[in-house]
Amino acid sequence: MRILQICSKMPFPPKDGGSIAMNILTDGLIKCGHTVKVLAVNTPKHFIKEDDIDIEYRKRTAFQSVYIDTDVKPMDALLNLFSNKSYNIIRFYSKEFENTLIDILSKQEFDIIHLETLWVAYYVDTIRKYSKAKIVLRSQNVEYVIWERLAEASSNFVKKWYLKLLSERLKKYELSMLNKYDGIATITDIDAKAHQKLGCSLPIITIPFGIDVSKYKEDKSTTEFHSVFHIGAMDWMPNADGIKWLLESVWPKVIVKHPTVNLYLAGRNMPDWLKQLSTPNVLVLGEVEDSHLFINSKSIMVVPLTSGGGMRVKIIEGMALGKTIVSTSIGAEGIDYENSKDILIADTADEFVEAIHMCLSDKIYADTVARNARTLVEKKYDNIKICEQLTDFYKSLIPK
């Protein structure tokens, strides 16, 4: 099949959860024998010079990108208050991107146009006008739910009010688009059911995040057992809020039980308040050059998400590298786990402290959970098998 994959951010190099998820799908579809062209939005937040992108990747994906300034601008945000449009969505529209899309659709025929996230759904009407291809939305979350959770979690009255407004407008837009595609591929069953409950009558399939397990090599030769770590992009608000909760409500209690244990924080775009942190036993590393090397060097991965949604790519990667993982239920959404066997689930500060304590106190138990995690990934999250399922879904949408 001929597939046009439209990405809401640069999918290469695959450094954060979103870009990794997009890129692994591209790779899997190509390995399944399809022709995949990638058109991406290049944003200030995840800006990549096109010349810096691997030339082999550009060739095999006929890669194109268009820069869109998606930064939040105070005056635009203020003026948006007097409209009924979703500010989250309209920041991803540009005439240049639309013209590039029209040019591509005018010159090439596609069987499937695959939209990576709701943020590029604004272009559905343009696609319909210039192409007969079936449109599939790759939904990584029910987006408005993330913003609802952020609003609920905020203690600042003004911030809570504004986040609630954003979530309400985003919900209105998301609901208006529910039945405008030809199919939806969600990452989790939870999101699939949520779409249906909201009124989606389109064909829906759950296509989880997959990986090429062969590329994930466990190396315990450098592992610091008595260590805890988090890795994730810190410009994603749920990650930043989760780490703040961990540092305020969990970590002080962990240190009482384990005075010598270190917490390592890695990820791009660390906010100033973290860079300036001077908390004992907390090391803020920022972006690491080799995420696999970093993960292999540490022992217990923590995912303290109290908001957000969808499936966490870093958990699957951590599992593949044989890590013991402690996560909230929200953080582990979409993963087909068994609590206390493949992963430890903790939703309160005291539960989180106890889970970390168990792992630090009993290496045999921690290693058993880590081995089970690796086995789970091998069985459930092989990328080729997942892309074969997605291929079957694509075929079901195309009239014979």
- Rounded Cα gap, residues 257 and 254, in angstroms: 5
pLDDT in tens, 10-35: 999 887 778 888 999 999 999 999 99
- Tokens describing residue 382: 């092989």
pLDDT in tens, 227-246: 999 999 898 888 999 999 99
The percentage of residues in the chain with a pLDDT greater than 90, rounded to a whole number, is: 67
**Residues 153, 154, 155, 160: what is their CA dihedral angle, to the nearest 10 degrees?**
-130
- Rounded Cα gap, residues 307 and 149, in angstroms: 5
- Position 310 scores a pLDDT of 61
- Rounded Cα gap, residues 97 and 103, in angstroms: 10
Closest CA to 93 of 62, 126, 58: 126
Three-point CA angle 164, 170, 176, nearest 5°:
140
Kindly state whether residues 240 and 106 are assigned to the same domain.
Answer: no
Q: Average pLDDT for residues 50-79, to the nearest whole number? A: 90
- Position 308 scores a pLDDT of 65
Strand runs labelled E in 117-168? 134-139
Kindly state whether residues 205 and 294 are assigned to the same domain.
Answer: no
The answer to whether residue 81 scores a pLDDT higher than 70 is yes
Range of 109's domain? 2-210+382-397
Q: Is 7 helix (H, G, I), strand (E, B) or coil?
A: strand
Kindly state whether residues 174 and 249 are assigned to the same domain.
Answer: no
- Strand ranges of the sheet holding 227-231, from the earlier edge strand across to the other edge: 282-286, 262-266, 227-231, 300-303, 324-327, 344-345
Q: Is 110 helix (H, G, I), strand (E, B) or coil?
A: coil
The answer to whether residue 382 scores a pLDDT higher than 80 is yes
Q: Average pLDDT for residues 252-280, to the nearest whole number? A: 93
Helical pair 143-153 and 157-177, crossing angle rounded to 10 deg: 170
Kindly state whether residues 291 and 351 are assigned to the same domain.
Answer: yes
Domain CATH number, residue 376: 3.40.50.2000
Three-point CA angle 60, 66, 68, nearest 5°:
145
- Rounded Cα gap, residues 46 and 191, in angstroms: 26
Kindly state whether residues 386 and 361 are assigned to the same domain.
Answer: no
Closest CA to 271 of 314, 304, 302, 234: 234
Q: Which amino acid is at 319?
A: M
Kindly state whether residues 82 and 182 are assigned to the same domain.
Answer: yes
The percentage of residues in the chain with a pLDDT greater than 70, rounded to a whole number, is: 99
Closest CA to 91 of 173, 20, 13: 173
Look over the chain and give the mean of its residue pLDDT values, rounded to a whole number.
Answer: 92
Q: Is 262 helix (H, G, I), strand (E, B) or coil?
A: strand
Kindly state whether residues 91 and 23 are assigned to the same domain.
Answer: yes
**pTM attached to this predicted model:** 0.77
- Position 309 scores a pLDDT of 62
The answer to whether residue 43 scores a pLDDT higher than 70 is yes
Please provide the DSSP assignment of 171-216 as one string. HHHHHHHTTSSSEEEESSHHHHHHHHHTT--S-EEE----B-GGG-
Report which listed range, 18-22, 79-83, 222-226, 337-341, is most confident. Answer: 337-341
Domain count for the chain: 2
Kindly state whether residues 340 and 358 are assigned to the same domain.
Answer: yes
pLDDT in tens, 183-217: 999 988 888 998 999 899 999 999 988 888 888 99
| Neighbour count for residue 115 (Cβ, 10 Å) | 25
Confidence grade of residue 286 (pLDDT, cut at 50, 70, 90) = very high
- Rounded Cα gap, residues 239 and 234, in angstroms: 6
Kindly state whether residues 220 and 361 are assigned to the same domain.
Answer: yes
Kindly state whether residues 135 and 271 are assigned to the same domain.
Answer: no
Only one residue has tokens 């410009």, namely 235
pLDDT in tens, 124-159: 999 999 999 999 999 877 777 777 877 887 778 888
- Strand ranges of the sheet holding 134-139, from the earlier edge strand across to the other edge: 64-67, 35-42, 2-7, 112-116, 134-139, 183-186, 204-206
- Note whether 23 and 14 are within 8 A (CB): yes
Kindly state whether residues 103 and 232 are assigned to the same domain.
Answer: no
Question: For 56-60, 69-73, 76-80, 115-119, which range has the lowest pLDDT when averaged over its residues?
Answer: 76-80
Kindly state whether residues 49 and 135 are assigned to the same domain.
Answer: yes
- Rounded Cα gap, residues 18 and 311, in angstroms: 10
